[in-house]
Structures are given as structure tokens and as C-alpha cells.
Amino acid sequence: MKKKALALALAACMAASLAACSGSSSETTAAATDAETTAAETTAEETTAGEETEAEETTAEAAETEAAGGTLVMATNAEFEPWEYHDGDAIVGIDVEIAQAIGEKLGMDVEIEDMAFDSIIPAVTSGKADFGAAGMTVTEDRLQSVDFTDTYADASQVIIVKEGSDITGSADLVGKKIGVQLGTTGDLLSTDLVGDENVERYNKGFEAVQALLQDKIDAVVIDSAPAKAFVSQSEGLVILDEALSQEEYAIAVKKGNTELLDKINAALAELKEDGTIDEIINKYIPAE
């Protein structure tokens, strides 16, 4: 708890003013120094002769961020197995591991803040969190409020129904009740398909699936990998073959925070290149 409070205070401090943070505790200063060293080493390794000026700038910028604590606060909604979910007391999943790998590259700790899915973008825009990683689809609408990193995974919306349902594809959804997680692309898509009045919005995808099992709704529209996880955990549910969309996941950062955006993108590029991203995804979603 203490650590969490500290990280939050630092994040707030970082957002408010870097200068105002300079008098922080010795614990923080030590952590920041460590992080600076790592960041400087990383920069040195990556620098080629022709890019020296740019690299110097990057190092100076890195030092500024790390002086504020060396912790990146990640906003997520851990109700979305296998991307992020609770395992006992821990929050685990693909996004968690990718974020940790990025943190390692940047020499920074990653602290997870679990919240409602529709609170993630506000947390990022207000500076309460440094970035949002939540199997979040890049959409035009979201790009109005946040910047997205390069994408790191593909996804699609799928339809879950009860076994034996007369719904065999999206055309059959008209006039039916669809359950979704509030504020997701599944929510938007379903609203387009069947109209606002026929969409039941839940805080968690799991609650939508429970409602389907209890015949309160006729179908659930949700991302493909969580759909598989839910269906494997309950009897009597199936996923229809039809994909309703093609989407791409990326990490959201505060609009205009190009410093962090560039750093995450650089780390992501390395993690894609060396196979780490594939490895993490395959660990949670074994290739069929």
C-alpha cells in the first residue's frame, strides 16, 4: 500500500511539475539513480555513431522522467483473460508481461492500477496513469483523446451464444439483446447492429456471460481471446465463426507525450524484433 501511494503521489507530482518533485525522499532518489544508469546504458548500447546528438537528447529526457521516480503507472481493467486478469492476488496476463518487458527496457518499474475499462482513458488524459494497456483497440474516436503506440496484436469481435441458439450469425442479432462490456468496441459495434435499446452494458465481460447463461440476454459480443477463455470456463456456450471486426491493440499515452510514446515504441520494436512479444502471446494463447 505504501509503495502504491508513493507511486501515485509521484505520478501526480510528475504531472504537476517536475521541478516540484526534486525534494523527494532518499528512497526515491536512489531508485531514480538506478533507473537513470540503466537508461543511460541502454541508450549507449543503441547509439550508432551518426545518431549521437539525438541520443544525448534522449538521455537528458530520460533522466528528467526518471528523476520523478522511475515508476510508470499502467491503467488496466483486469477482467479480460488472457490479456489481463486476476490470478489469486496477482494481476497477470499478456499486457502485464508486455508492460513489464517495456519497463525493463526503459529501466523503470511498472505499477498496475486496476480500474473500470471506461476509466482507463480518463486516467491517462488526467495523468493519474502514465499509460493504458488493456487489450485496447485503436479507434478514431479514442485518438481524439489519447495517442496510441504502434500496435502489438490483432483481434476481432466475436459472438457468444448458448449452444442450440437460433442465432447463427450477425444477421440473426437484429431484435435480440446483446450483452457487452461497457465502453468497449463490442459495445459500439453492438449498438450499431441492434440499437442502443437492445444492448445490455456490464462492467465486466464476465457479468455479460453470466447474464447469457441465465437467459437474460441472447448473445455476448466481445474480443476473440477473452471469448475463448469465457467459453472454456462455462458449460453450454459456443462462439460463432463470424468475426464482426478486425481490430488492433495498442498502448494509450497522454496526448502529446511524445517522449513516453517514442520510448515505448522503441521498446516495443525491440521486443517484436527479438520475439519477446510473440513468446508472451503464445504463452497465453497457444497457436492452434
Q: Which residues bind ligand ARG (CB under 6 A)?
A: 76-77, 79-80, 83-84, 117, 134-137, 181, 184-185, 223
Give the nearer residue to ligand ARG in terms of CB position, either 119 or 257: 119
Q: Considering the complex, what minimum distance in angstroms separates the CB of residue 100 from ligand ARG?
A: 16
What is the C-alpha separation between 70 and 107, in angstroms, rounded? Answer: 7
Give the nearer residue to ligand ARG in terms of CB position, either 70 or 186: 186
Q: Considering the complex, what minimum distance in angstroms separates the CB of residue 135 from ligand ARG?
A: 4
What is the C-alpha separation between 284 and 288, in angstroms, rounded? Answer: 12
Q: Considering the complex, what minimum distance in angstroms separates the CB of residue 158 from ligand ARG?
A: 12
Strands 71-76 and 109-114: parallel
Q: Considering the complex, what minimum distance in angstroms separates the CB of residue 71 from ligand ARG?
A: 21
Q: Considering the complex, what minimum distance in angstroms separates the CB of residue 206 from ligand ARG?
A: 10
Name residue 72's amino acid. L
Q: Whats the size of the chain, residue-wise? A: 288
Q: Is 102:268 a contact under the CB 8 Å cutoff?
A: yes
Give the nearer residue to ligand ARG in terms of CB position, either 12 or 92: 92
Give the nearer residue to ligand ARG in terms of CB position, either 117 or 230: 117
Give me the helices (H) in the chain, please.
2-16, 26-46, 52-67, 94-106, 120-126, 140-143, 185-194, 205-213, 224-233, 258-273, 276-284
Q: Considering the complex, what minimum distance in angstroms separates the CB of residue 116 from ligand ARG?
A: 9
Give the nearer residue to ligand ARG in terms of CB position, either 107 or 186: 186
What is the C-alpha separation between 65 and 107, in angstroms, rounded? Answer: 11
What is the C-alpha separation between 92 and 256, in angstroms, rounded? Answer: 29
Residue 196: C-alpha distances to residues 14, 63, 159, 171, 180 (Å): 40, 48, 17, 17, 12
Give the nearer residue to ligand ARG in terms of CB position, either 28 or 184: 184
What is the C-alpha separation between 110 and 116, in angstroms, rounded? Answer: 19
